[in-house]
Amino acid sequence: MILIKNALNLDGFRTSILIEGNKILKVQSDVAQELSPQATIIDASNMLAISGFFNAHTHAAMTIFRGYQDDLALQDWLNKIFKLEAAYVDETMVYWCSKLACLEMVSCGTTGFMDMYFFEDQVAKSALDVGLRVVIGEGLLSFQTPFCADFKEGLKKTFDLKEKYKDHPKAKVSFAPHSLYTVEKNDLELLSNTIDKNDFVQIHLAENLTEVNTVLSKFGQPPTFVLEEFGLLNSNTYLAHCVHLTDDEIELIQKRNAHVIHNPQSNMKLSSGISSVCKMIQKGVDVCLGTDGCASNNNLDMIEELRSAALLQKLFNPSYMNAKLAVRIAQNFGGFFDVALSEGKLADVVLIDLDAIEAIPLYNPASFLAYAANSKSVDTVIIDGKIIYKNKEFVDVDVQEVKFNVKKIAKKIGSL
C-alpha cells in the first residue's frame, strides 16, 4: 500500500492518493485510513501529482542512432536509416537500446508506450524488466527487414507475439504495417483478411507531402481512404503523424473512431510540416501524443513534446491548444490501459518537483507543466502500484549496466 499525502493536482487543489495493489483506492483531500506497518507514505507537499504519460508512437531501440543522421528530410533520412538497420539491428541491440529508451521515458514521467520496430519481443522484455506498460508491433514491410524475410513472415511472428502476451496485464500486441509506401497492395489485402476485427493496428500515415503523392500515385486515392478500402480503419487503428490530411480524411477518421498520434518534434526535425491536430480534436478525433524514435527527435521527453504540441498550434490560434489540453493528450493511453488519476483506475502516478527553480512562483500547475517544467522536474514515478523511480533515481534497475552495453554496441557504429 502507498499513501501519497498532500500533493497538488492540476486544478490547484491539495489531494491525497491511496494506492492498494495496482489500483488507486482513494483520491480525496485527506485519506483517513488505518495503514499497515508495511505501507509506504510519501509526503508530497512540494509535489504536483499527475497521471503518467503515454508515448503513443516511438521506435525505442533507435536510441542507438540518436544523433547519427540529422538534418535531412524524411525520405533521404529513411534511406540512410534502413541501411544502418540492415547492418546493425539484432536481438541484443534491440534489448539493450530499448532498455535505455525505457529508462529515459520513465525519468521523463512516461509510464507506458507503443512501439514499432524489429525483434519486438525484446522490446517487451526490456519494458517489463524496467516496469513500463507497453504495446509492441513488429514492423511489417514488403521487403526484407532485420527480423523477417518478408511481410508474410512478419505477420506470422506477430501472431506468435499475440499468443505469447494474450493474458499479460502490462503488454499488448499490435499489427504494425510500416506505411502505405513500404507495403504493397497484396500484403495489405493479406493483413486485412488475416487479422481479427478486435486486433490493434498502427501505421505511419500522411507524414509528409512526398508520401501523400506517392500513395496517390500508387493507389489512386488519399492515404486514409486507402486504409478504408482495405478495411483497416476502425476504433483499433492508430495513425502516426497525420501531418497532411484533407478535411474529408479527418471526417472519415472521426467517423471510424480511429486514433491520431501527434509527433510535433519529429515532424519539425524531418521538415514534414505542422499537423492541424486542434482541428481534429474539434471534429471529435481522439488524439494521442508520441515522440517518434530517437533518430528523428532526438529524445523521448514527453514534457518537451507536449510543450511543442501546444506552442505549434499557437501559430494557428493562441487558444487552440491550452496547457491542460496539451497535458491531456500526453496522458491519453488510447484505450490500451485504464490509467487515470481517479479511484478504481490503474495506479500510474508521477510526482513533479515544485521546489525546483523553474516552478517558482506557481500560479497555475497546468501552465507550469506545459510551459516551464522539464524532465528534470520528475521526482517519482509509480507504475502499476510499484515505485520505479524515486528521488530522481531508479529503484531496481542497474542504469550503469544499460549504459555500458549500449555504448559497447555504439562503438561498432562509430560513436565517440
8 A C-beta contact, residue 374 and residue 301: yes
For residue 394, is pLDDT > 90?
yes
Confidence band, pLDDT 50/70/90 cuts, at residue 358: very high
Confidence band, pLDDT 50/70/90 cuts, at residue 31: confident
For residue 274, is pLDDT > 90?
yes
User: In CATH, what number is assigned to the domain containing residue 358?
Assistant: 2.30.40.10
362, 318: one domain: no
Q: Give the residue from 311, 330, 349 where a domain finishes.
A: 330
- Mean pLDDT over 283-297 rounds to 97
Confidence band, pLDDT 50/70/90 cuts, at residue 146: very high
Helix axes 120-130, 91-107, angle to 10 degrees: 40
Cβ-based neighbours of 340, under 8 Å, separated by 6 or more: 51, 331
* Residue percentage of the chain with pLDDT more than 90: 95
407 assigned to some structural domain: no
Confidence band, pLDDT 50/70/90 cuts, at residue 36: confident
For residue 103, is pLDDT > 90?
yes
156-159 contacts, C-beta under 8 A, 24 or more apart? none
266, 350: one domain: no
From 196, 223, 197, select the one nearest 209 (Cα to Cα). Answer: 223
249, 174: one domain: yes
Give the predicted TM-score (pTM) of the model. 0.97
Cβ-based neighbours of 397, under 8 Å, separated by 6 or more: 103, 129, 130
253, 104: one domain: yes
For residue 14, is pLDDT > 90?
yes
291, 363: one domain: no
From 359, 337, 352, 392, select the one nearest 55 (Cα to Cα). Answer: 337
pLDDT digits (tens, 9 = 90+) for 38-90: 899 999 999 999 999 999 999 999 999 999 989 999 889 989 999 999 999 99
289, 172: one domain: yes
243, 143: one domain: yes
Q: For the chain, how many structural domains are there in total?
A: 2
pLDDT at site 323? 97
From 187, 279, 203, select the one nearest 238 (Cα to Cα). Answer: 203
Question: In Å, how far from its chain's centre is CA 309?
Answer: 14
Extract the C-alpha cell encoding 366: 497546468
373, 232: one domain: no
352, 243: one domain: no
103, 209: one domain: yes
Task: Report helix, strand or coil for 114.
Answer: strand
pLDDT at site 416? 84
Cα gap 113→300, rounded to integer Å: 10
pLDDT digits (tens, 9 = 90+) for 214-269: 999 999 999 999 999 999 999 999 999 999 999 999 999 999 999 999 999 999 99
User: In CATH, what number is assigned to the domain containing residue 325?
Assistant: 3.20.20.140
What's the chain's average pLDDT?
96
Confidence band, pLDDT 50/70/90 cuts, at residue 313: very high
The total of other beta-carbon atoms located within 10 Å of residue 12's CB is 12
State which residues form the domain around 209. Answer: 53-330
309 assigned to some structural domain: yes
Cα gap 126→102, rounded to integer Å: 7
